[in-house]
Amino acid sequence: MNGPALKTALPGPQAKALIERDAKVVSTSYTRDYPLVMARGEGALVEDVDGNVFLDCTAGIAVTSTGHSHPDVVQAIIDQSKKFLHMSGTDFYYEPQVRLGEELSAIAPMPGPHRSFFGNSGTEANEAAIKLARYYTKRQNIIAFFGAFHGRSMGSLSLTASKLTQRRGFAPFVPGVFHAPYANCYRCPIGLNPDTCAAECLRFIEEQLFVHLVHPEDVAAIVVEPIQGEGGYVVPPNLFHERLREIASKFGMLLIVDEVQSGMGRTGKMFAIEHTGVTPDVVTMAKGIASGLPLGVMTSRSEIVSWPPGTHASTFGGNPVSCAASLATLKLLRDSLVKNAEVVGTHMFAGVKALMDKHSIIGDVRGRGLMIGVELVRDRQTKERATTERDRVVHECFRRGLLVLGAGQNAIRLSPPLVLTTAQADTAIRILDEAFSSVRP
């Protein structure tokens, strides 16, 4: 497959027909930003039902880490499918789940021994982490952050504080969740200068939360994304995570890092928290862990994951086919793709950053590896959010054969498959350049 290469106006006739059928039977809650109807994929390329080929800088929301339908992953899925599809790893034993537990223990970003809990999605991994933290510490409360996204089931949703639509109409939430400011240094929540600041937004936790609202010894865990994903690809300074670790350790809370979006090699290290040198107590994973098959995992130290039988489980969690896909994915990540994310990511970051000289609409470019955010503003001085312009840029990219997604109110996220080549990164940058030119604030 070569591309991008467009054959029809978008959406083409086949795509239009399918979108009409979709509108009648599929939940209206999904956010489709543009009419892409997928037919097949290969590496970082996607072909739609009308034969148009797109360069994919979404990876299906950071999921297809090894590219679309990587042959090794497909083979692993076929091999496992021929043996058995399901037996429930919560009631019985099978090797792929055990082996995956062993391999995750080998790469976990904290000292072992470890045990893993297997679910089907990011939100389930986080639900498991929340429940484990309450059970283990015998405390009720959780600290999360403004701008965070941890999922949409009720426990995770109670921690999520990204877009209001995600919460509005769904209260009451799980009680005992307190939100604190995240270190978004481009828009410092307390108006300080990042060059001289020592993660002072965290003083809110110690000087406000712990004084007025909740005793620190009643807090089970701090849950944090190493890099905020859905919230706008916000990269905090390392000191932010270091100080969180100090607070958690000082008061006996668990530090839970949600690596659902930032993990599995995307940032040029297996886990984004590894860039900071901070050791968490619990890590949650999903998305890129199985190249597209549903799998969510929570890993922690064995002494913490020692809850008795029956306390938590999932019928489908740790499905053997998903585990097989994950084992093949981890091998590819280790062998070359984590490195590729670093190398191509560095190249892509520089290319996107250089666009700032031409396009004043770009307020900030940030990220690590192939997790790159571009924040759009109407004015670099006032930083007024270019919200509608962001949506238009996303559309203009689509019209030119590049798939990107928004993040936060006014950022674009670049989260391609980790097989992206330097040449493909250059193509993406060229199309972004054109898209920015067509959208002036």
Ligand X SMILES: Cc1ncc(COP(=O)(O)O)c(C=O)c1O
Q: Rule CB under 6 A: which residues touch ligand X? A: 61, 121-123, 126, 149-151, 225, 229-230, 258, 260-261, 286
* Cβ-proximal residues to 8 (8 Å cutoff; 6+ apart), any chain: 50, 51, 52
Which element (helix H / strand E) includes 73? Answer: helix 71-83
* Nearest approach, Cβ of residue 276 and ligand X (Å): 16
* Nearest approach, Cβ of residue 227 and ligand X (Å): 9
3-state helix, strand, coil in the chain (%, to 5): 40, 20, 40
Q: Closer to ligand X by CB, 30 or 93: give it.
A: 30
Give the span between the Cα atoms of 57 and 54, in whole angstroms.
9
Q: Closer to ligand X by CB, 225 or 396: give it.
A: 225
- Sign, CA torsion 411/412/416/420: negative
Our CA dihedral for 429, 431, 433, 438, rounded to 10 degrees, sits at -160
* Nearest approach, Cβ of residue 158 and ligand X (Å): 13
Q: Closer to ligand X by CB, 275 or 378: give it.
A: 275
* Nearest approach, Cβ of residue 150 and ligand X (Å): 5
* Nearest approach, Cβ of residue 230 and ligand X (Å): 5
Q: Closer to ligand X by CB, 122 or 320: give it.
A: 122
Q: Closer to ligand X by CB, 123 or 137: give it.
A: 123
Three-state DSSP class for 81? Answer: helix
Q: Closer to ligand X by CB, 39 or 61: give it.
A: 61
Q: Closer to ligand X by CB, 267 or 427: give it.
A: 267
Give the span between the Cα atoms of 334 and 326, in whole angstroms.
12
* Nearest approach, Cβ of residue 225 and ligand X (Å): 5
* Nearest approach, Cβ of residue 122 and ligand X (Å): 2
Q: Closer to ligand X by CB, 49 or 374: give it.
A: 374
Q: Which amino acid is at 81?
A: S
Q: Closer to ligand X by CB, 124 or 389: give it.
A: 124
* Nearest approach, Cβ of residue 189 and ligand X (Å): 19
Three-state DSSP class for 376? Answer: strand
Query: DSSP string spanning 233-255?
Result: -B---HHHHHHHHHHHHHHT-EE
Three-class HEC string of 148-185: CCCCCCHHHHHHCCCCHHHHCCCCCCCCCEEEECCCCH
CB atoms closer than 10 angstroms to residue 353: 16
Half-sphere exposure of 81 (CA within 13 A, CB side): 9
Q: Closer to ligand X by CB, 96 or 122: give it.
A: 122
Q: Which of 104, 83, 45 is nearest to 290 (CA)?
A: 104
* Nearest approach, Cβ of residue 287 and ligand X (Å): 6
Q: Which of 230, 216, 276 is nearest to 62 (CA)?
A: 230
* Nearest approach, Cβ of residue 272 and ligand X (Å): 10
Three-state DSSP class for 22? Answer: helix
Q: Closer to ligand X by CB, 260 or 372: give it.
A: 260
Give the span between the Cα atoms of 143 and 159, in whole angstroms.
8
Q: Closer to ligand X by CB, 53 or 256: give it.
A: 256
Q: To which residue do tokens 């039902």 refer?
A: 49
How far is CA 171 from its chain centroid?
24
- Sign, CA torsion 191/195/199/200: negative
CB atoms closer than 10 angstroms to residue 297: 30
By beta-carbon distance, which residue lies closest to ligand X? 122
